[in-house]
A and B are shown apart, each in its own frame.
Chain A
Amino acid sequence: MGIRLMRIWTLVVVLGGISLSTPLTAQTPTDEKSIDHTSGLWLGTYTKYKLSDKWFYYGEYHYRRRNDFIRDMAQIYLRFGATYRHSDEFELTGGVVTPIYWAPNQQAPDINKVVMQYRFWEQMLFVQHLERSKIYHQLRFEQRWARKYQIGSPYKLTHRFRYKFSTYIPINNHQLVPGTYFASLYDEIFIQAGKSIQYNYFEDNRLFLGLGYVLNENIQLQAGYMWSFRHAGGPYKYEHRHIPRVSFYHSLDLSRKMKPYQPVAPLPEF
């Protein structure tokens, strides 16, 4: 996809996402809308291990707390996948997700305090190379089998469509080489669908602003603030979430082998 088309696509999706979210929240202007503010803390580890020239193992391991940032346990979120890197501009990933949800009100009767969820997920990642930075367009699709916390609640299938627009901007270097600080910025919009979705197709919009550091060629760190505005599950209920995030990114090249001697270029003759 050409850069120009990518930019148009980015614009359409972002504006579309915003415009989509707004009328959905104002669907029934006569009803009273409630908006809550909550906070949490998300800690995450992202791994990507190179298995061959094209294939990677992908893994995300999240530990999330909520209410006054850290008061209550929220989720343990495990995402596994296999990535096929088609080129330096495009890759495909697919796998499973097994998030574990803690019920928001652990004291409520007749509930399971911890509920599992099962998902398949597919993802397309487009990379736009700019002179100093890159823009990543991530489209993610999830098939979720989720259930309510009430005891005996059945698992129901819903769909989620996510588009994430993100970028890393090096601060003290021209490239994201070891030792580089960078600004990390993204916005991701979540759309949901399925029979059980009763109130709003708009699910979430997450905006993140953070600072990253490339420790070495295998490790980088990011920390920042994420603002999430989401539909809270009930009719006319919305929620602002204020979440600091700390993420650890780890990559390994497991594909490297000892090659037989073969000069890359003829040795200079002197």
Chain B
Amino acid sequence: MPNIPTIRFKTAIRILIFFCTSGISLSATAQYVFHSDAFVGSLGDTGIVSINLSAPWKASFSGEIPPQKIWNGPFRFQSSKNQKEPQWQNRNYIEIGNYSNGLASGEWTYTEQITNLQIQNLTASGLNYRINTRLISQKGTWKNGIRNGNWTYQLIENPVDNKIVKETLTYRFENGWLNGPIAYKNEDSSITIIGQIKEGLMVGDWQFLESDGTLEHRIYEKGILISLDTKSEGDTQTWIFPLSSKCLDALKSREKTGDLTHYPMSLTFSDGYPQNSKWIQIQKNKGHFLSEIHKKIGLYLPKWQAEIGLAFGTNRCIYPLLAEEETKLAQWLELREKWQNITAKLQDTLLIIEEFPREKKFKEKLQKWIEIQNENWENTQTWQDIMESGRLVYYNRSGEVFNYAKALLKEDILHYPKGFESIKYPNNQNKLIAFLVENTQARIDTAAVFMDSLISIQKQYELSKFILQLSAQIRRLHDSLWAKCQRDTTRFGPFFALLQDLPNLYLNAPFDLAFQEFINETDIQQEQILGNRLLESLEGLDQLCTESKKLFYLWSSIDTFYTEYRVDAFTFERLKIRNKKRLFELFNTYVAQEIKVISQKNIQERLSGVRELKRLFQAFFYFRDRQTNGLERRLLKTKTHEERRRIWESV
């Protein structure tokens, strides 16, 4: 049991109120319970922490110490988790240590017991089951919040019964750096690894011994893999990793860094070797054991694992860029930006025309090309990251990396269900960065060509959409015209004649034929012209229809306006009496004649004639109560329609 501090009553009340408001319940023994997934990474664990508090604080997880809330004294964290069907499992975790002024200090143990219940079968004699218990323990010492001293890791199966040690790891920290011998043994994988670490970097001879007798030696210097040899039954392979003279000079230097940079990026893709090169492949054989070791070192210390990452193993030989290369690099970085932007833009534009039924093959091609660009962009990102620091990794100028870059970038092979297509790029440069500049520019140019095609397609698409809309508009207008102008001819009176026998209205053909001609036109520009002409005709007819209806309304109004009703003196019958009968008849005769004349004209001339008639109708309203004998006399003297028109137009 942890120490239970004595807390004064008022303080206890204060803490109680504080925790209640903070969502934390404080027990009578000054233990508190909270939920956290930070310790063992399992959601829903319930942990109990016992700690001497120098001041109340809001607990979140053990690794985070608020700056003004200091942890002091022994620390214990305990959590358990029960899992039932389908996998029965009990997990208990206990972390015991000590804090000094808020920093981990002294010996710490991290113990986790996992018990699995495995139901094997159900027989007449009962249920057959198997209980498997594993005990994982990690021990080590801390000094002022950093690891310092020997550490051990152990995995034991059935710790109570036969106690089988499955996995062990011993290593050593000095002032937070891995430093010293390291040994790892895995019973299940039958491998034993021993090696040395110096200030976080793998050094010296690392041996990988397997139960079948295979032994691999890796020689590291300052994290750089110098050589590798494997010895199995009758077979010995030796790999001497080529290093530049400058890199070798750097390795000889007493300085830790010098021209070496510690890049904890991956255990295998170190030193700028291409991933599929033989130099990397050979490292991968035992690489996952190194990963396992790394995981064990960070076990139960997620923050350490996440933030510090690789504590050992890799390094790179690097040397500064030449001035010319820096210029080229800047150019390449700029081009990369453009390359990515135009690729993204291509992708977006492609999405816009996704529904466009034509150009399916082109879309497929472009889609594949964009995918390759995205992959290549990712693949070359590593070089960018490295080179942005102003240095180049070993072998990159004209060696393996350059060859790899050329293999990767010289052409894009687009695979289709049936066959493939290759897009090739210039291959004139013999240096990496110059090649990258040339290649990236060529890709941008290619993308620009694609973009032009896409824009062209998009225009076609928009035009096609326009044609669709146009055809819908034409059809809609035609139908509405039919409803408006043809269905009920009584609304036009004598002016219906103005809507009939229109020459050339629908491209010299009945509407249905003209519409078909428009739809069937394959040349989209010509189709647009035909559609617009049809639409113009229909709009003209629509105007004519509207104007003719208005004329009839006006004409009817004139009829009413020039009409009076009188009750007959003898019969009391309500009689319609026409005012200005003679003028009215002259007017109507003229209108009837004018309708005949206008009906012979084309649509625009008809519209013009109709508007002139409308003007006359509006003027005619004013004659009702005016002296019109002179006008009547003038009209009666005329002999031709033209003469009458001149008189009417002058009123």
Contacts and interface: CB of A to CB of B under 8 A. Distances in A.
Nearest to A175: B573
A88 B621 contact: no
Interface in B518-576: 550, 553-554, 557, 560-561, 566-576
A177 B570 contact: no
A258 B570 contact: no
A220 B561 CA distance: 27
A220 B570 contact: yes
A261 B622 contact: yes
A253 interface: yes
Contact of A176 (B553, B557, B566, B568): B568
A175 B554 CA distance: 27
B625 interface: yes
A97 B112 CA distance: 142
B633 interface: no
Given A177-B576, A260-B625, A261-B626, A268 B570 contact: no
Contact of A46 (B554, B570, B577, B618): B570
B601 interface: no
Given A259-B625, A264-B561, A176 B573 contact: yes
Contacts of B560: 264
A262 interface: yes
A95 B217 CA distance: 152
Contacts of B622: 261
Contact of A56 (B557, B566, B569, B574): B569
Nearest to B624: A261
A268 B567 contact: no
B614 interface: yes
A33 B429 CA distance: 153
Interface string B154-189: 000000000000000000000000000000000000
B572 A134 contact: yes
Contacts of B566: 217, 253
Contact of A48 (B554, B570, B573, B618): B570
Contacts of B614: 270
B133 to A, nearest CB: 98
A181 interface: no
Contacts of B575: 176-178, 217
Interface residues of B, number: 25
A145 B554 CA distance: 61
Given A168-B571, A270-B614, A258 B625 contact: yes
Interface string B569-610: 111111111000000000000000000000000000000000
B571 A176 contact: yes
Contact of B569 (A48, A129, A264): A48
B625 A261 contact: yes
Contacts of A176: 568, 571, 573, 575
Contact of A217 (B557, B577, B618, B625): B577
A217 B111 CA distance: 124
A251 interface: yes
Given A217-B577, A251-B569, A268 B625 contact: no
Contacts of B553: 268
A49 B569 CA distance: 8
Contacts of A264: 560-561
Interface in A152-184: 168, 175-178
Contacts of B618: 267
Contact of A251 (B557, B561, B568, B626): B568
A231 B573 CA distance: 36
Nearest to B579: A256
Interface of B: 550, 553-554, 557, 560-561, 566-577, 614, 618, 621-622, 624-626
12 contacts: A50-B569, A56-B569, A136-B572, A176-B568, A176-B575, A217-B577, A249-B570, A253-B566, A259-B625, A260-B625, A261-B624, A267-B621
Interface of A: 46, 48-50, 56, 88, 127, 129, 134, 136, 168, 175-178, 214, 217, 220, 249, 251, 253, 258-265, 267-268, 270
Can you list the 5 inter-chain pairs with the closest CB atoms, starting with the nearest? A48-B569, A251-B569, A261-B625, A176-B573, A176-B571
